[in-house]
Amino acid sequence: MRIVFFGTPDFATPPLLALLGEGHDVVAVVTQPDRPRGRSRSQLDPSPVKVVALAESIPVLQPDRPRGPEFTAQLAALAPDISIVVAYGHILPREIIDLPRLGTLNIHASLLPAYRGAAPIQAAIRDGAAETGVTIMQMVPALDAGPVILALATPIESDETAGELQLRLAELGAEALIEALVLISVGRAPAKPQDDALATYATKIVREDARLSFSASCERVARLVRAYDPKPGAWTTLNALEVRCFGAQVAAGRGAPGEVLGAGDEGLLVACGDGAVRITDVHPAGQKRIAAAQWVRGRGVRIGDVFV
């Protein structure tokens, strides 16, 4: 089976490696253009899947947008049997989706139709969902709305961060993809339409989404901190300067919302609308991520201070 693989972030790497490990014929990898980094913006960083593709001598295509006659002709010349899309970052047009004889599969990090959209992992943790999973679906031009071929579920651990859950779901997605391809190859992969009435959405994260309000419950604050760890980092302010918070756990305590009730080797104890949270790591503006205890020793924060 000749496969074209679309993907960009780290989440896409395990499924690509799984395909290669199972001996599938990946004839090209499509990924976004290399991104500049550093103050001078002069160094270009390739995506993780590009690094894998080059190491395996797989041709790499990097269009600014995956559409238009030139890109369509490049894809058609590869004569793919199927395309696979994993966190690529663009919605593909109909002519690209339908070009392979078996169409295009998408791996999505939720149990569809729940959490369609760009940030399903963060949304599931933020909302306190008990479980999530990965869905293999036939791709359509609408957002994450295609018929489902296979879905695998997994519980969300009570202290799991988005970064930790993403790693687990990437591996689960690789497993599900290989299973789906086997089902397709033997003609036993009926696609089940999604119930649009049950659809929920996890839109792209914007800065204000990650702002902490300590007037919320301690459970809510702790979930938000986990949901945005490691990126973009749930944030608050102290003395008008931004502080990103990590490692929050529900703890006993009472005070005005945002008040620092304790500051020591175990981190910061901060009052919430009910109860408190203990924060183990912080990223103050202009510094690097450090243990909250180190910030305390450096006199960056003290008991009685209030996060707002």
List pLDDT tens digits, range 119-163: 999 999 999 999 999 999 999 999 999 999 999 999 999 999 999
State which of 198, 216, 241 marks the end of a domain.
198
Q: Is residue 20 part of a domain?
A: yes
Q: Is residue 273 part of a domain?
A: yes
On whether both 243 and 157 belong to a single domain, the answer is no
Residue-wise pLDDT tens digits, 73-116? 999 999 999 999 999 989 899 999 999 999 999 999 999 999 99
* Percent of the chain's residues with pLDDT above 70: 98
On whether both 76 and 179 belong to a single domain, the answer is yes
Distance CA 163, CA 169 (A): 10
Q: Is residue 40 part of a domain?
A: yes
On whether both 194 and 251 belong to a single domain, the answer is no
Q: Is residue 302 part of a domain?
A: no
On whether both 154 and 238 belong to a single domain, the answer is no
Residue-wise pLDDT tens digits, 242-279? 999 999 999 999 999 999 999 999 999 999 999 999 99
Asked if pLDDT for residue 39 goes beyond 80, the answer is no
Q: How many CB atoms lie within 10 A of CB 68?
A: 14
Domain count, the chain: 2
On whether both 215 and 159 belong to a single domain, the answer is no
Distance CA 175, CA 104 (A): 18
On whether both 247 and 149 belong to a single domain, the answer is no
Distance CA 227, CA 184 (A): 35
On whether both 82 and 153 belong to a single domain, the answer is yes
On whether both 189 and 213 belong to a single domain, the answer is no
On whether both 12 and 141 belong to a single domain, the answer is yes
On whether both 45 and 175 belong to a single domain, the answer is yes
On whether both 181 and 111 belong to a single domain, the answer is yes
Distance CA 279, CA 226 (A): 11
State which of 163, 198, 233 marks the end of a domain.
198
Asked if pLDDT for residue 38 goes beyond 70, the answer is no
Asked if pLDDT for residue 27 goes beyond 80, the answer is yes
The token pair at 113 is: 């139709």
For residue 271, the enclosing domain spans 207-297
CA-CA-CA-CA dihedral for 170, 4, 30, 171, to nearest 10:
10
| DSSP-derived secondary structure for 4-54 | EEEE-SGGGHHHHHHHHHTT-EEEEEE-PPPEEESTT--EEEPPHHHHHHH
Residue type (1 letter), 82: I
State which of 198, 231, 251 marks the end of a domain.
198
On whether both 184 and 213 belong to a single domain, the answer is no
Residue 199 CB-half CA count within 13 A: 16
- CATH of residue 94: 3.40.50.170
